[in-house]
Amino acid sequence: MFLKKGRKKAMKIIVGLGNPGDKYSKTRHNVGWLFLDYLSEVYGIEVQKNNCDALVGEKNIDGEKIIFAKPMTFMNLSGNAVQKLKNWYKVEDKDIMILFDDIDIPFGTFRYREKGSGGSHNGMKDVVQKLGTQEIQRIRVGLGGLKHEKQDMVDFVLQRFSKEELAKLEEVFAEASKQVDEFIKSK
């Protein structure tokens, strides 16, 4: 099927924030990557091609090109990869969704927002700053309630999840994936 002249092909980018390397695998701060891994299985999208400082995977779903991406820039520079992806694929801000961890909401929950600041999350702050807009959809997966009050924040977010916590996260991902599905189907 050919597109009519002047009509842009529909496309969406879903980015899971995290840090590359085995050292960070299955840590609390890599929830965005873990969620994207879950979605990759659900949608059958392999995320392994190197492009725009990220690992990416692509698939057409209902006539819409869907791109899954894991920035390889480390968390605090996530905006660099997201900006490159946006420019490479020529998408609008409304067609980007970011998945990431959030210490400020309870563990075992998630929150969806159509826009907003980066909050206390440095990776999301960098995305907002680099794109120059807060008009970016996001799903924040809660880590709060697990942190011991005297524990260092960095030490906490770089800890690995227990098997029980990973099982709970899978339940959260299953529920939050309904919002991702709506995003994919939206025009």
Which residues form the catalytic set? 29
Distance CA 128, CA 181 (A): 23
E strands, the chain, are 11-16, 49-51, 54-61, 64-71, 96-106, 110-113, 137-144
CA gap 80, 87 in Å, rounded: 11
Q: Which residue's structure tokens are 């690995």?
A: 160
Tell me which residue has tokens 């809660």.
142
Q: How far apart are the first and last CA of the chain?
A: 19
Q: Are strands 54-61 and 49-51 parallel, antiparallel or unpaired?
A: antiparallel
| Rounded distance between C-alpha atoms, residue 101 and residue 142, angstroms | 6
